[in-house]
C-alpha cells in the first residue's frame, strides 16, 4: 500500500530517496517524507500531498546524510497530515512502516505509562517508542529491534535507522513485502524491486518473519526465531522496465492501449499458437482429478475470478466456488480435500488474498495463483504460479492487469476441460483460435475513441449510473461500475440484468444513464427485454453491443459498437469499452485519473 525506500550510500541520499519514492507513486499515497543521519543525529523532512511538496521542503532545508529512509503514506491511522506522515522518530530512532500494528493501542498505553510521549495519531509511532525503550534500557540497536518485534501484532514492513549509527539500517517483514538491494559498497531497501532499479539489479526478498541488519558491506538476515538464514540474491529485470507515459496523457491511457500486446504475451505463455492448442505448464496438479475449484480475490481481480467461474463451469463442467478474499477466510468455508484453490492478484501482495491463501493451504487445497509479479509473496507461497505478463501497471485503476488475468483464467478453463475430457480437440482449437484473435480485435477498437469522449460529457452530468449485463457479461457490468466509481467519483452500480425488476428498477428515471453490456449471444433477447423495461421508465440507455442498434427496439441515448467476437472471448473484448467510458469521463471531469483519491494500488493491509 505505502512505499518504503532506504539507502546506505556513499554520497548524500535525500535526492535518490525521493527519486526511488517516485517509482512507487503507482501504489497511491497522501503524504511523503525522508529522514537521514546527519552528523550523528536524525533529521527528517515531511510534506502532505505529492512528492513535489516534499521536494520543496528539501530545497528549503536540505539534508546531506549518506544514510536515510523514505516513505509515501496512504493513511490508515490518523489523517493525512504532516504530523502523521512518515518517517516517525524519537531522538534515537527513525522508522518507516507499511501495514498495520494491530495492538498499537495496548503498546501505546504501556509506553505512555513509562513516560514516552506520542506526537502523532499513527500506529507506527508505537514501534518508534518500543525500539527506543529497548535502547534506553541498554540494548544494542539490533537487540532492541529483535525485542520489539516480539511485541508487535499485525502486518508490517519496517525500515529503521539510528542516531549515532551512520552504517546501520534494520529491516523487518511480516505480511508486507520488502526487498534488499545489493550495491558496490552500498545497500538498499525497498517495497519492491522497481524502487531499487536505478541503483542495483541484485535483489534479495525477505521471507515472512525475516528481519535483516544492513551495513554498507552487506546484510545479515534472521528468521522469526532469531536464527541467521541465507536468502537468495536474484537478478531483477525491473531496471529494464520503462515506467513512463510515452505519448499518452495518463498512465491509465497508456495501459489501456498496451492491452493488445500484453494479452498476446500472456496468451503466448499458455497456448501453442501453431497447433491452436493449450500448452499449459506443469502445475504439479492433476487437472483431471479436480472435483471443485475455489477462486478468491479482491476488487477488479475478484471480477476476473467471477468470469473465470463462468468459463470453468461451462467449459470444464467443474463446480466453482468464488468469494471475496476478505469474506472467504472468515466464514471458515469447508473445502474438499484435494481441491484446487485459485488466487488472483495483480501485485501478489494483497493482504486479504494472502491470508485466505494460507487458510486454503491449511485446509489441504492445492494452490494456484494468477499474479503479475512472479517474485511476490502469493506467487512464492503457491504450489503453482501462473504469471500474467502485463508488465508494471502504474495507474491505480486496473486495466491491462484485468484483461491479462482474464486471459490466464480462460486458458486455465480450457486446460481443465481438456484434462477432464469435457471438450474435444476441435472445441479446444476453436476456443484457442478465438482467444488468439482478441488482441487484433482490441487493437481495432482503440483506433477511434471519439464516441467515448462524447459520451463522457453526457455521463459527467449524472448523479447515479447503472450497468447491466447477463451471464458471463454480468461481471463486466460490475467491473464497469467499479471503474467509473474509482476514477470519476460518480456513483455507479452493476447489476445482473435479470435482477432489474427485483429492486434496482426503482432507481430508474429520465436522469439515470443505464449502460447495458449486451453482445448478440444466446442471452441477447433476454437482455433486450430488460433494456425495454428501462426505456419504459425513461432511463437513458447506453448500449454496448455488436448487434445493430435497431434491435434494441427503443430510443438509445448512445450506442457503442463493438466488433463481433466469439462468445467465449466477449468478456475480454467488452472490458475495453467499459474502461474507456470510465477513463474519458474522469478526464472530462478533471479528476486524478492515475491516482484517484483514497485508493492505493497494492493493498497490503486487511
Residues belonging to the active site = 2, 601
Separation CA 102–CA 376 (nearest Å): 23
Strand-pair category, 93-101 with 88-89:
antiparallel
Instruction: Tell me whether strands 320-324 and 67-73 are parallel, antiparallel or unpaired.
Output: unpaired
Q: How far is CA 544 from CA 399, 567, 576, in A?
A: 18, 15, 11
In terms of residues, how long is the chain? Answer: 606
* CB-CB neighbours of 58 under 10 Å: 17
Antiparallel, parallel or unpaired: β 234-235 and 271-272 = unpaired
Per DSSP, the three-state class of 222 is strand
Pairing mode, strands 3-8 and 187-190: antiparallel
Residues 327/321, Cβ–Cβ less than 8 Å: no
Give the Cβ contact number of residue 525 at 10 Å: 11
- Listing DSSP states for 137-161 in one string gives TT--HHHHHHHHHTT--EEEEEEEE
- Sign of the alpha-carbon dihedral angle for 345, 346, 347, 351: negative
Please state, as a whole number, how many other Cβ atoms lie within 10 Å of the Cβ of residue 506.
Answer: 10
Q: Which residues pair with 44 in a beta bridge?
A: 35
Q: How many CB atoms lie within 10 A of CB 490?
A: 22
| Residue in 374, 337, 358, 19 with CA at minimum distance from that of residue 175 | 358
DSSP structural state of residue 175:
B
CB 227 within 8 A of CB 180: no
Local structure of 2: helix, strand or coil: coil
Q: Under a CB-based contact definition with an 8 Å cutoff, are residues 315 and 363 in contact?
A: no
**C-alpha distance across the termini of the chain, in Å:** 11
Other C-beta atoms closer than 10 Å to the C-beta of 375 total 18
Which cell is 602 given? 497494492
Amino acid at each position: 500500500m505505502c512505499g518504503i525506500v532506504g539507502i546506505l550510500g556513499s554520497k548524500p541520499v535525500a535526492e535518490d530517496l525521493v527519486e526511488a519514492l517516485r517509482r512507487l507513486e503507482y501504489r497511491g499515497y497522501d503524504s511523503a517524507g525522508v529522514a537521514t543521519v546527519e552528523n550523528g543525529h536524525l533529521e527528517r523532512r515531511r510534506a502532505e500531498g505529492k512528492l513535489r511538496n516534499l521536494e520543496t521542503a528539501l530545497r528549503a532545508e536540505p539534508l546531506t546524510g549518506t544514510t536515510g529512509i523514505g516513505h509515501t503514506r496512504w493513511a490508515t491511522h490518523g489523517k493525512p497530515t504532516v504530523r502523521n506522515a512518515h518517517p516517525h522518530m524519537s531522538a534515537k530512532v527513525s522508522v518507516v512502516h507499511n501495514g498495520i500494528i494491530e495492538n498499537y493501542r495496548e503498546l501505546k498505553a504501556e509506553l505512555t505509562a513509562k513516560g514516552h510521549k506520542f506526537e502523532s495519531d499513527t500506529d507506527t509511532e508505537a514501534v518508534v517508542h518500543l525500539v527506543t525503550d529497548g535502547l534506553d534500557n541498554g540494548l544494542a540497536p539490533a537487540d532492541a529491534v529483535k525485542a520489539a518485534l516480539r511485541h508487535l501484532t499485525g502486518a508490517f514492513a519496517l525500515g529503521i535507522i539510528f542516531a549515532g549509527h551512520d552504517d546501520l539500517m534494520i529491516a523487518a517483514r511480516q505480511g508486507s513485502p520488502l526487498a534488499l538491494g545489493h550495491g558496490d559498497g552500498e545497500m538498499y531497501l525497498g517495497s519492491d524491486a522497481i524502487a531499487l532499479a536505478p541503483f542495483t539489479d541484485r535483489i534479495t526478498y525477505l521471507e515472512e518473519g525475516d528481519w535483516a541488519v544492513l551495513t554498507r558491506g552487506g546484510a545479515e538476515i534472521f528468521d522469526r526465531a532469531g536464527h541467521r538464514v541465507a536468502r537468495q540474491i536474484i537478478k531483477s529485470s525491473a531496471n529494464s522496465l520503462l515506467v513512463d507515459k510515452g505519448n499518452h496523457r495518463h498512465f491509465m491511457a497508456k495501459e489501456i492501449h498496451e492491452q493488445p500486446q500484453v494479452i498476446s504475451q500472456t496468451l503466448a505463455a499458455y497456448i501453442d499458437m501453431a497447433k491452436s492448442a493449450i500448452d499449459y505448464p506443469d502445475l504439479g496438479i492433476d487437472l483431471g482429478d479436480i472435483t471443485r475449484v475455489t477462486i478468491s480475490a479482491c476488487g477488479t481481480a475478484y471480477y476476473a475470478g467471477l468470469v473465470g467461474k463462468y468459463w470453468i463451469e461451462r467449459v470444464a463442467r467443474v463446480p466453482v466456488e468464488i468469494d471475496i478474499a476478505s469474506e472467504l477466510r472468515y466464514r471458515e468455508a469447508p473445502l474438499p480435500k484435494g481441491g484446487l484453490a485459485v488466487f488472483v492478484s495483480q501485485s501478489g501482495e494483497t493482504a486479504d488474498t494472502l491470508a485466505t491463501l494460507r487458510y486454503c493451504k491449511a485446509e489441504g487445497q492445492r494452490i494456484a495463483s494468477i499474479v503479475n509479479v512472479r517474485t511476490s509473496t502469493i506467487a512464492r507461497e503457491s504450489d503453482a504460479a501462473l504469471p500474467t505478463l502485463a508488465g508494471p501497471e502504474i495507474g491505480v485503476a486496473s486495466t491491462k492487469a484485468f484483461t491479462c488475468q482474464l486471459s490466464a483464467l480462460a486458458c486455465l478453463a480450457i486446460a481443465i476441460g481438456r484434462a477432464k475430457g469435457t471438450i474435444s480437440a476441435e472445441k479446444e482449437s476453436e476456443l484457442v483460435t478465438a482467444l488468439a484473435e482478441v488482441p487484433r480485435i482490441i487493437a481495432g477498437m482503440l483506433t477511434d475513441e471519439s464516441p467515448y469522449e462524447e459520451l463522457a460529457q453526457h455521463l459527467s452530468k449524472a448523479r447515479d449510473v447503472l450497468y447491466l449485463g447477463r451471464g458471463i457479461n454480468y461481471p463486466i457490468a460490475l467491473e464497469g461500475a467499479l471503474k467509473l466509481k474509482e476514477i470519476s467519483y460518480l456513483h455507479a452500480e452493476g447489476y445482473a440484468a435479470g435482477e432489474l425488476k427485483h429492486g434496482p428498477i426503482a432507481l430508474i428515471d429520465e436522469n439515470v444513464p443505464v449502460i447495458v453490456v449486451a453482445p448478440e449471444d444466446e442471452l441477447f433477447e433476454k437482455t433486450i427485454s430488460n433494456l425495454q423495461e428501462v426505456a419504459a421508465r425513461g432511463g437513458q440507455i447506453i448500449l454496448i453491443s455488436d448487434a445493430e442498434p435497431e434491435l434494441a427496439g427503443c430510443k438509445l441515448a448512445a450506442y457503442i459498437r463493438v466488433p463481433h467476437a466469439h462468445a467465449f472471448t466477449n468478456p475480454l473484448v467488452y472490458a475495453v469499452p467499459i474502461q474507456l467510458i470510465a477513463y474519458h469521463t474522469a478526464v472530462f471531469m478533471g479528476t486524478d485519473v492515475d491516482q484517484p483519491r483514497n485508493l492505493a494500488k497494492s493493498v497490503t493491509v486487511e
